[in-house]
Amino acid sequence: MAISWKTIPLGSRQKIFHFLLIVWLTVQYWGYLTQSLADFDLWGYLSFGRLWWEGRGFPYQDVFSYLPTKKLWVYHEWGTGALLYPVYTYLGEGGLQGLKYALGFMTVAWIYLTARCRGAHFGAVVLALFLIADPLAAGFPPLRAQAFTYFFFALFLLILENYRQTGKSLRLGTLVPLLWVWANLHGGFVAGLGLLGLYLLGEGLARRPVKPLLVVLILSLAATLANPYGFVYWRYLVEALSMPRPFIGEWHSVVGAWRQGLYVPNICFFLALAGATVLVFLSVRPGIAEGLVLGVTAGLGFLQVRHTVFFLICFAAYLPGYWTRIGSAWGERHPGLWSGRRRSWILAGLFLVLAADTIHFLYKYRFWEDSFALQTPSRREAGNAGHYYPRGAVEFLEAAGIKGNLLPRFEWGEHLTWRLHPRVRVGMDGRYETVFPPEICRDYFNFIFGRPGWQEFLSRYPHDLILINPEAPVAAALMNLSGWKVLYRDEDSLLLARDG
């Protein structure tokens, strides 16, 4: 007896189609997630991990730089460094990439479960996850501590929403140890406390019991103090979260980034989703808690581009439930819209689209090739990415066995420390607000941009080497500066050494 699509029971057909949707979404997301360009911050984590695992005691003072540093090095990502170093040592680049994939896919799993917990239709959840797949994956470069924050944020959202839907408070207690782990991996744990606070406020305004949430919030705050720095950790966080970072693009506001031509596609997408959320809420009245969470995360995303990921996570967790309600109401008003032959044709068309798109992604990303490798490209290899490494200069320094104090381009500092420490001490790097006093950071950037007083900064501290990109504003002046000579130059970098 021949088997046709019509002879397959409706429930089985739905399972087949759901499976195809999962395969399609997995290919899409994995394709986006396979970005293998090593983030500059990764090398700072590994340098800390090496210092901790191979040293004696906890490193409370910076040993990497020769410039004046703070008396206490409060490294809010210390746990990430302590974790990543043995992973890299024993499992190599593939271990780091594998951890990134695990965090990325588990984050999506938490979002999916949250949406389903809220009664969202399977197809609506898949659509929401498809919409955010690309920008969400961009939050998981190999490997930033923020990946842990997105993972825990989505997990917190699931646990809190489960409590809100069921009223069962037993699982809420798991948030306390989770927050302790989170706080020692990344300073972004304040997002978890904020989420708890918003749910507490939302439940209170809705006149529902808030005691369990209040108890968990108090215990979670106490748990954050179990860190290597105690209360000082919070003092640092208050300063770090409020300080301006004009030289780091992801910390710019939507308006500021737009004016500089940064992250324009991501900003447009974020604004489009925020606008779509407003339109949905004009037709379906939102719950107080999710309205607060979506409003606050959208506001944070508008103030600082790097925070748009929190809104994307909340969007995909909350909106599918509202879409499902709108779709059900529409279906009741138009009962013949999704029935009979029309349904078969729509499903057949969707199947062909998904199949073609999957093949396209497999061909475009080829994620089975080098998906577990880390890339540290030269400028030519990086192309338009704009994120490249001074490979030639680093190899030159290593081969020549050169020692001394090196003042680098800001983005390269942590990589240079990883490759050259302890023979070379590096003046400035991406840990700058955790290690250096504000006046040192100011003077350093004045030097890089060739602003008034840059020569004074150069003469005030014991710089032996300078490694910058040839287009840096100060580069031309340095090449003509008495007492300095070009030691190495290529299209990526310019290395100068002090005479004598």
The string of pLDDT tens digits covering residues 119-165 is: 998 889 998 999 999 999 989 988 899 999 999 999 999 999 999 88
| 319 prior amide bond cis, ω within 30 | no
Pairing of strands 494-498, 465-468: antiparallel
Band of pLDDT at residue 365, cut at 50, 70 and 90: low
Name the DSSP class of 4. Answer: -
Stretch 294-312: mean pLDDT, rounded?
93
Name the DSSP class of 291. Answer: H
Band of pLDDT at residue 330, cut at 50, 70 and 90: low
Band of pLDDT at residue 485, cut at 50, 70 and 90: very high
Answer whether 142's CB lies under 8 Å from 96's CB: yes
In the sheet with 465-468, reading across from the earlier edge strand, the strands are 424-426, 404-408, 465-468, 494-498, 484-489
Residue of 126, 166, 66 whose CA lies nearest to 416? 66
Stretch 177-182: mean pLDDT, rounded?
97
Within 284-390, residue ranges assigned H as helices are: 288-303, 308-333, 340-365, 379-382
Stretch 378-389: mean pLDDT, rounded?
82
Residue, of 313 and 260, whose pLDDT is higher = 313
pLDDT of residue 1: 43
* H/E segment holding residue 406: strand 404-408
Instruction: Write down the pTM of the prediction.
Output: 0.92
Residue of 143, 131, 76 whose CA lies nearest to 104? 143
Residue 313 has pLDDT above 70, yes or no: yes
Residue 262 has pLDDT above 70, yes or no: yes
pLDDT of residue 327: 79
Band of pLDDT at residue 394, cut at 50, 70 and 90: very high
CA distance 38 to 220: 33
Lowest model confidence (mean pLDDT) among 56-70, 112-126, 358-372, 394-408: 358-372
Residues 6+ apart with CB under 8 A from 445: 247, 410, 451
pLDDT of residue 334: 60
Residue 299 has pLDDT above 60, yes or no: yes
Name the DSSP class of 413. Answer: H
Band of pLDDT at residue 2, cut at 50, 70 and 90: very low
| 422 prior amide bond cis, ω within 30 | yes
What percent of the chain is predicted at pLDDT more than 70?
A: 91
Residue, of 350 and 104, whose pLDDT is higher = 104
Count the helix, strand and coil residues of the chain and give each as a percent rounded to the nearest 5: 65, 5, 30
pLDDT of residue 344: 63
What are the pLDDT digits (tens) for 12-45? 667 777 787 888 888 888 888 988 889 999 999 9
What are the pLDDT digits (tens) for 207-242? 998 999 999 999 999 999 999 999 999 999 988 877
The three-class DSSP label of residue 468 is strand
Residue of 181, 177, 150, 191 whose CA lies nearest to 79? 181
Residue 317 has pLDDT above 80, yes or no: yes
Lowest model confidence (mean pLDDT) among 104-113, 281-290, 442-451: 281-290
For tokens 């209360």, the residue is: 231
pLDDT of residue 81: 96
Q: What per-residue string of b and e applies to 441-480 under the rule 16 or more CB within 10 Å gives b?
A: bebbbbbbeeeeebeebbeeeebbbbbbbeebebbeebee
Q: How many CB atoms lie within 10 A of CB 374?
A: 18
For tokens 């003072």, the residue is: 61
Tokens of 98: 């594998």
The three-class DSSP label of residue 498 is strand
Which residue type occupies 214?
A: L
Residue 343 has pLDDT above 90, yes or no: no
Answer whether 380's CB lies under 8 Å from 390's CB: no
Domain residue spans of the chain: 11-365, 381-498
Residues 6+ apart with CB under 8 A from 388: 377, 378, 379, 381, 382, 492
Q: Give whichever of 15-29, 366-380, 473-487 has the largest mean pLDDT.
A: 473-487
Mean pLDDT, the chain, rounded, equals: 88
CA distance 418 to 5: 59
Q: How many CB atoms lie within 10 A of CB 33?
A: 28
pLDDT of residue 363: 72
Residue 3 has pLDDT above 50, yes or no: no
pLDDT of residue 249: 74
